Amino acid sequence: MKKKYLHLLTVGGLVAGWIKSTTIVWAQPSPPCDPGAGGINLGDCLRLSDDSLVSSVYNNPATLVNLLARNLFVVAGVFLFGMMLVAGLKIIASGKGGKQGLDEAKTMLTSVAIGFAIMFAAYWIVQIVKILTGANIVL
Q: Which segments of the chain have a pLDDT < 70?
A: 1-40, 42, 136-139
DSSP 81-119: HHHHHHHHHHHHHHTTT-HHHHHHHHHHHHHHHHHHHHH
In terms of residue numbers, what domain contains 81? 61-133
Q: How far is CA 21 from CA 14, 50, 136, in A?
A: 10, 19, 40
> Domain total for the chain?
2
- Provide the whole-model pTM: 0.57
| Domain assignment of residue 97, yes or no | yes
Q: Check residue 10 and give its pLDDT.
A: 53
Looking at the structure, tell me whether residues 53 and 106 fall in a common domain: no
Q: Is residue 138 part of a domain?
A: no
Select from 57, 73, 96 the last residue of a domain: 57
> Does the residue 139 lie in any domain?
no
Q: Are residues 45 and 7 both part of a single domain? A: yes
* Domain termination site, one of 38, 57, 76: 57
Position 60 scores a pLDDT of: 79
DSSP per position, 24-53? --SEEE-TT--GGGSS--HHHHEEETTS-B
84 and 106 Cβ atoms separated by less than 8 Å: no
Chosen domain end from 35, 57, 79: 57
